[in-house]
A = this chain, B = another copy of it.
Amino acid sequence: MKFRRSGRLVDMTNYMLHHPHSLVPLTYFSEKYHSAKSSISEDLTIIKETFEQHGIGTLLTVPGAAGGVKFIPKVEYKEAKQFVDELCELIAKPERLLPGGYLYLTDILGNPSIVNKIGRLFATAFGNRKIDVVMTVATKGIPLAYAVAAQLDVPVVIVRKDSKVTEGSTVSINYVSGSSKRIQTMLLAKRSLKEGSNVLIIDDFMKAGGTINGMISLLEEFKANVAGIGVLVESEGVEERLVDEYISLVKLANVDIRERNIQVMPGTYFQLVKDKKIGEN
């Protein structure tokens, strides 16, 4: 059975979208559709042009016998800015302010469509780094970590603050929470992370950075490397930030709990894109 170009384009688009950052040999498609490699190449050119034109991402062609094509998801600056502006507006509502300067984000983090867009943004920012695994801490960061990992085609590991019988033996560290200055514990299942892994840390909220700093210490225990840090919301106005290098999408400033006032603005992501430090081809 032969497949027409129109049908191939639809099925290939579906396949590429479901396999980001994976190298797909051209023979995979030519065998699946009983089509010549030259026809598949033409199909891929159409898909690449359409992806780029509509801000979906791009296709990278890797030449040679071990070559193929790779889908790199990518959000354009304009779309990213518009999305984060909407997010800022959503977050700026005073009823979100909770005791301790925390923010009610449960509804936003409970929306898979928003979460997946956030994943695409971070995948754009970190897409050109070598990443083996995405790490987060239970529980709010979990959906964000999966959304990023799906776009980067890597697994997720979840650090916990309590031990679970269903994970086997664990490695634990103590860390100082940046804002409350209390000593806390976090742990990770021994078999969940290989030595030398390049780890992207993702979390929903960062104040002083104590939790993220804890994850960095944990990575040292596993002899793993920090490949990047991404947070959805960072809160400004902290005397001493424990973490220097990170990408945030949203920044809070002038949090005034008594007056129920917050100022919400786009995070470091946009400055870094402008400075051409992230999101490059």
Contact = CB atoms under 8 A, between A and B. Distances in A.
Interface of A: 5-7, 9-11, 13-14, 17-18, 46-47, 49-51, 53-54, 56, 98-100, 102-107, 110-113, 115-116, 138-140, 142-143, 146-147, 149-150, 153-158, 160, 165-168, 189, 191-192, 205
B53 A7 contact: yes
Given A104-B167, A139-B138, A158-B139, A150 B7 contact: no
A150 B189 contact: no
A47 B113 CA distance: 22
A167 to B, nearest CB: 6
Contact of A150 (B17, B50, B113, B149): B113
Given A54-B14, A146-B143, A156 B112 contact: yes
Given A46-B6, A146-B146, A165 B99 contact: yes
Chain A to chain B: the 5 pairs with minimum beta-carbon distance, closest first: A112-B150, A10-B50, A13-B13, A102-B166, A138-B139
Secondary structure call for the A interface = helix
B165 A100 contact: yes
A56 B192 contact: no
B168 A156 contact: no
A47 to B, nearest CB: 5
A104 B168 contact: yes
A50 B11 contact: yes
A205 to B, nearest CB: 8
A233 B185 CA distance: 30
A78 to B, nearest CB: 16
A160 B146 contact: no
Nearest to A111: B155
B139 A160 contact: yes
A49 B154 CA distance: 32
17 contacts: A5-B6, A9-B10, A11-B54, A11-B56, A14-B17, A104-B168, A104-B191, A106-B192, A107-B191, A112-B153, A112-B156, A116-B150, A138-B138, A139-B139, A142-B142, A146-B147, A166-B205
Contacts of A5: 6
A164 to B, nearest CB: 8
Contacts of A160: 139
Given A10-B50, A107-B192, 14 more contacts: A6-B46, A6-B50, A98-B166, A105-B166, A106-B158, A106-B189, A107-B155, A110-B155, A110-B156, A112-B150, A113-B150, A115-B146, A142-B143, A143-B146
